[in-house]
Structure 1
Amino acid sequence: MCKQLFLLGTKLRFTFILCPSYWIRILDLGKKSAETYSTYYKRRMQLFKAYFSALLALSVTSARRAYQQEEVADYDNFDINSYDINLNEIIPMSSNSNSSSEENQKEDASPSKCSKDRYEIENLNDMNELHDCKVVKGDIVVLNYKEPILQFGQINRIEGNLEIYNAPNLVRIEAEEVRHVGKALILSELTSLSLISFPSLRFVKVLDWKVLPILNIVHFSNEIKDIESITVSDTSLIGFSGFMTSKLENLDINNNRFLETINCDVEQITGKLHIAANSKDVKVSLPKLEYAKNVSILDVLDINLEKLSEIESSLNVIENNFDTFKLPNLKSIGGTLSILQNDKLNSVKFPNLTEVGGGLMVVNNSNIDKVNFFSALNIIGGALEIVGNIKELSFEKLKLVKGSAKIKSSDADFSCAAWTKSDMSSVIRGGKIECTNANNERIVSNTPTENGKKVTTTEGGPVKMKVSSGGNKSSLNSIIYAFLAVIWSIVF
């Protein structure tokens, strides 16, 4: 075999590389002439590394030459007649096809005047210049418009925002043909605006309407889909409904003094749900809502949140006019739960709520005298504060309050002494417990601690953690021994 490799090596000028026996002989000579075994061993390792590197280079060179020869052979055997190509089936670029494509481009393309990034409209002439545009590529910004009527002519599609600001004389907005607003429809500080008409609108991402104090008529399609955020503030609208969307970033309806109904089939609100300061008789129905990040409900007569199961941040229920508030499917609140100053509220139900990540506040609700509606609650991540005409206070399954507790009852029969000695006091671990009643009974006590020792709490109580320094030392020794064993196996 060495002879064959010798011949191949002679041809390729790698004679001494290909046969290991040559290397062994060289090593033997090296061993005889070496002064120490260490020098011999180093030479042996260097020569074997050189041998395998050269052998790898030779293999790559041979494979490359074989591939090139095979590729040339494939081209030599190529027969164009063996491929069935029907030239009659290939569509030529005739003048007719060119003309048809040009016509399509003309239909799709907008004139240059319709393709700017931004259009500022200050008067009727500015608006009339866009009336024959089917598609407007950029933003339309109407600012300080002096006319009473704003019409959008034949415009069918606005790729950017439609923004109308600070036009005190504007009474009507008529956009009969507009089907698509690519980004936001923003209306702000239009103090004389009474009518908006977008009967063909099918798509808009954001509605942001603020300070439209006499707006009471809106002609919108009930087929608007995929809207992402809605803010309606300071209008004279009497109803809000009709948007077909399962997910919103924000739903903020506030300060609409005549608004009586809010209906929406949204299922998720990833930002805030904020209903506040509308008509005192407003009824809110969100029957499909399952998730919301942040919820604030103020000045509402009736609300339906029957499917709501998770609130990622906080829930604020403040100064409402309903007598019943129930969230039958709510399981967790990531932040604070606040039920404050709801004068007519006498029935509260949270049958499945197990965790409040922040504080829990039930404060100054005139008709609530029993706080016993958190029957499944296990954990309160912040402080507990109960203030009002409280006669009874119980949390059947509560295991941990990470903050302090403050109880202030205006009922003379509520006993602070009995409450602080109950099981409740043992689960409050974040600070002091403070309780007062109508008889000026006041008890302040510190929560249970273990002085001088590190304590880790769980839902069931304290667990003492013991750390052994000897265990760490033995683990380090094991790692060192394992590393030395690996080095020994590689070298020898």
Structure 2
Amino acid sequence: MVLTRYMLPVLAAAGAALAQCEGPINIQHQGDAEAIAECSIIEGDVLIGSSVSGTLAIDGVEEITGDLTCVNATQLTSLSANNLATIGGKFELEELQILSTLAFDSLTEVLTIQWIALPALQSLTFNRGVSTVTNILVSNTGLTSLNGLELETVGLMDINNNRYLDTVDVNNMRIVNTSISFAANSRTLEIKLPNLQQAANMTFRNVSDVQVPSLSYVNGSIGFYSNTFESISLPNLTETGQALVFQDNMGLSNISVPQIIQIGAALNINNNPDLLVIDGFPALETVVGALDFSGVFDEVNLPALSDARGGFNMQTTSSTFTCDGFDDLRDRDIVKGVYTCAGSQETPGGLGTNADSSGNNSRSAAPTTFNPDMPTYSVFGLIAFLFML
């Protein structure tokens, strides 16, 4: 009886302590955060309420197996968790209008990062650096760089509408498993991924520089749209599984992809008004999809091309452009799809548009369209047909 009388309070206290370490845990003020400071692991989610204001420190906790979420805490200025190393679920921060400090000195692993509408957040204090993230979305923040995200492998990475973001330098990133996308950030954004070797899909919009010197294979598509750089080099890229696109890049004057051999879908080079010579594909042999060029270019060289399986469209405003070499590719059945080639076009169009027959009247650059699926007739066949009438 005596033993039972002493053990019951001990067991009750232990049960209370255990309950405090099991989620969901709701934090409405600093006292709630201090109540879980003895928990090295939180089993479940931690939810920071919208009424939290000022500074919030979640100290002592080393792992959260679920989500860490804070939404609409419009008066929160600082969020820290100095011992937290792992977030097993989503790290979600949204609509935190005056949050200016995010300090997670020990954080290295997160399943998903989702940060949206953090306009006062200019930098991250992540001293060890997050190296493992499956998915990451950073949108509409005040961040000027992504220092603190030392990613090695990422699934999906979407960085958009961060108007002050002018540097992304992720030295350790080697593989992108799903997609990586940059759009509508600072117009001066420079992206450096020096050790990235393989990616599934890549999209770059509105950036001033892209450096991916180690990239050798993209098993999906890679596209460059509305950028301001003058030159783009993909020195080690040998193959894409799907399309390769350069479109609406106003300052682009040079494209260099010297080792690419095969493009698994379309090669699109459209509306790059400073691109006068396209000669950066010396090893390209196979384009599985369409080959679609339109713009102001004077010259196109594809010396190794031996198999273009989709449609072929080449339209330019230039009066000096010649189609002779490409007519020869068509005649030798290297170009197998619908064929259009024309210079002196007022409004050069993309694949599926008709060339303007009033363009250059020289044989080499006059508009030529050929559809291999249309029936053809020999002279003798026509004569035989006439005798049948």
Same fold (TM over 0.5): yes
Residue 443 of structure 1 is matched in structure 2 by: 367
> Among 237, 242, 249, which residue is 1:330 paired with?
237
Residue 96 of structure 1 is matched in structure 2 by: none
Residue 301 of structure 2 is matched in structure 1 by: 394
Residue 239 of structure 1 is matched in structure 2 by: 145
What secondary structure is seen at the aligned counterpart in 1 of 2:76? coil
Q: Which structure would you say has the larger RCO, counting Cα contacts within 8 Å and 6 or more residues apart?
A: 2
In the alignment, the residues of structure 2 paired with residue 369 and residue 408 of structure 1 have an alpha-carbon distance, to the nearest angstrom, of 13
Residue 151 of structure 1 is matched in structure 2 by: 57
Higher strand share: 2
What secondary structure is seen at the aligned counterpart in 2 of 1:225? strand
Residue 421 of structure 1 is matched in structure 2 by: 327
In the alignment, the residues of structure 1 paired with residue 130 and residue 255 of structure 2 have an alpha-carbon distance, to the nearest angstrom, of 36
Cα deviation per residue 1:30-53 (whole Å; 9 max; x = unaligned)? xxxxxxxxxxxxxxxxxxxxxxxx
What secondary structure is seen at the aligned counterpart in 1 of 2:53? coil
> Among 59, 66, 69, which residue is 1:160 paired with?
66
Cα deviation per residue 1:386-416 (whole Å; 9 max; x = unaligned)? 1111111221111222221222211122245
Query: Could you tell me which amino acid in structure 2 is paired with residue 443 of structure 1?
Result: P
C-alpha deviation, 1:235, in angstroms: 1.1
Of 183-192 and 425-434, more deviation after overlay is shown by 425-434
C-alpha deviation, 1:161, in angstroms: 1.3
Query: Could you tell me which amino acid in structure 1 is paired with residue 275 of structure 2?
Result: I
> Among 142, 146, 156, which residue is 1:250 paired with?
156
Q: Is the 8 A contact 1:360 1:380 kept in 2?
A: yes
TM-score, normalised with respect to structure 1: 0.65
Cα deviation per residue 1:469-489 (whole Å; 9 max; x = unaligned)? xxxxxxxxxxxxxxxxxxxxx
1:135 aligns with 2:37: no
Q: Is the 8 A contact 1:202 1:221 kept in 2?
A: no
C-alpha deviation, 1:254, in angstroms: 2.0
Q: Is the 8 A contact 1:276 1:299 kept in 2?
A: yes
Q: How does 1:458-473 map to 2 (within 5 A)?
A: none
Query: Could you tell me which amino acid in structure 2 is paired with residue 288 of structure 1?
Result: N
C-alpha deviation, 1:155, in angstroms: 2.6
Q: How does 1:78-477 map to 2 (within 5 A)?
A: 111-122=17-28, 126-127=32-33, 129-264=35-170, 265-416=172-323, 418=324, 421-424=327-330, 426-438=333-345, 440-441=359-360, 443-448=367-372
Query: Could you tell me which amino acid in structure 2 is paired with residue 335 of structure 1?
Result: Q
Of 152-161 and 283-292, more deviation after overlay is shown by 152-161
Cα deviation per residue 1:199-252 (whole Å; 9 max; x = unaligned)? 232333332212211211321123433333332221111122344443211232
Q: Structure 2: where are the runs of 5+ without partners?
A: 1-9, 346-357, 361-365, 377-389
Q: Is the 8 A contact 1:110 1:134 kept in 2?
A: no
Cα deviation per residue 1:357-409 (whole Å; 9 max; x = unaligned)? 11111111121111221111111111121111111122111122222122221
Query: Could you tell me which amino acid in structure 2 is paired with residue 113 of structure 1?
Result: A
> Rg larger in 1 or in 2?
1
C-alpha deviation, 1:341, in angstroms: 1.4
Query: Could you tell me which amino acid in structure 2 is paired with residue 320 of structure 1?
Result: N
Cα deviation per residue 1:242-285 (whole Å; 9 max; x = unaligned)? 44443211232222111121111211111112122222222211
What secondary structure is seen at the aligned counterpart in 2 of 1:271? strand
Higher helix share: 1
Q: Is the 8 A contact 1:222 1:243 kept in 2?
A: no
In the alignment, the residues of structure 1 paired with residue 76 and residue 209 of structure 2 have an alpha-carbon distance, to the nearest angstrom, of 35
Cα deviation per residue 1:114-141 (whole Å; 9 max; x = unaligned)? 3434224445565454344332111112
What secondary structure is seen at the aligned counterpart in 2 of 1:160? coil
In the alignment, the residues of structure 2 paired with residue 290 and residue 144 of structure 1 have an alpha-carbon distance, to the nearest angstrom, of 42
Q: Is the 8 A contact 1:143 1:167 kept in 2?
A: yes
What secondary structure is seen at the aligned counterpart in 1 of 2:168? strand
In the alignment, the residues of structure 1 paired with residue 372 and residue 102 of structure 2 have an alpha-carbon distance, to the nearest angstrom, of 63
In the alignment, the residues of structure 1 paired with residue 326 and residue 236 of structure 2 have an alpha-carbon distance, to the nearest angstrom, of 31
In the alignment, the residues of structure 1 paired with residue 195 and residue 326 of structure 2 have an alpha-carbon distance, to the nearest angstrom, of 42
Cα deviation per residue 1:260-318 (whole Å; 9 max; x = unaligned)? 21111211111112122222222211111110000111222222211100001101011
Q: Is the 8 A contact 2:261 2:286 kept in 1?
A: yes
Q: Is the 8 A contact 1:380 1:400 kept in 2?
A: yes
Query: Could you tell me which amino acid in structure 1 is paired with residue 155 of structure 2?
Result: E
In the alignment, the residues of structure 1 paired with residue 278 and residue 16 of structure 2 have an alpha-carbon distance, to the nearest angstrom, of 65
In the alignment, the residues of structure 1 paired with residue 137 and residue 147 of structure 2 have an alpha-carbon distance, to the nearest angstrom, of 13
Closer, same or farther in 2 for the Cα pair 1:238/1:245, shift >3 Å?
closer
Closer, same or farther in 2 for the Cα pair 1:227/1:318, shift >3 Å?
same
Query: Could you tell me which amino acid in structure 2 is paired with residue 295 of structure 1?
Result: M
Of 236-245 and 263-272, more deviation after overlay is shown by 236-245
CA RMSD of aligned residues (A): 2.6
Query: Could you tell me which amino acid in structure 1 is paired with residue 227 of structure 2?
Result: N
The percent identity for this pair of structures is 25
Q: Is the 8 A contact 2:67 2:88 kept in 1?
A: yes
Query: Could you tell me which amino acid in structure 2 is paired with residue 401 of structure 1?
Result: A
What secondary structure is seen at the aligned counterpart in 2 of 1:219? coil
